[in-house]
Amino acid sequence: MNQEKIKTLMDRWTADAEFRRELRANPEDAVRKAGVELDAEERAALRAVDWKLSDQELKQRASKLFV
């Protein structure tokens, strides 16, 4: 995933509790509604996320993956 997409999603994740809830319920739809287009590989990576983790755990994992 390119850096611009990552920054957009991380900024939204940090600032918007409703977006976090939407991601947990339907990640691909939430990302699309956020205006971020994902390719097939990026969509697969999004589906592979364990959305049962806490917000803090997800943020830490994302930071490690994309830094």
Residue 48 confidence (pLDDT) = 87
pLDDT value, residue 30:
93
Q: Which two tokens stand for residue 67?
A: 């830094």
Which tokens hold the place of 40? 């097939």
What tokens were used for 10?
């991380």
Joined tokens for residue 63: 């930071």
Q: What is the pLDDT along the chain (67 residues), one digit of tens a residue?
A: 677 888 888 889 889 999 999 999 999 999 999 999 988 988 888 888 899 999 889 888 776 665 5
Nearest to 4 by CA among 38, 29, 28: 38
Q: Which pLDDT score, from 0 to 100, does residue 60 have?
A: 81
Q: What is the pLDDT of residues 41-57, one digit of tens each?
A: 888 888 888 999 998 89
Handedness of CA 16, 17, 23, 26 (dihedral sign): negative
Position 64 scores a pLDDT of 66
Domain locations along the chain: 3-66
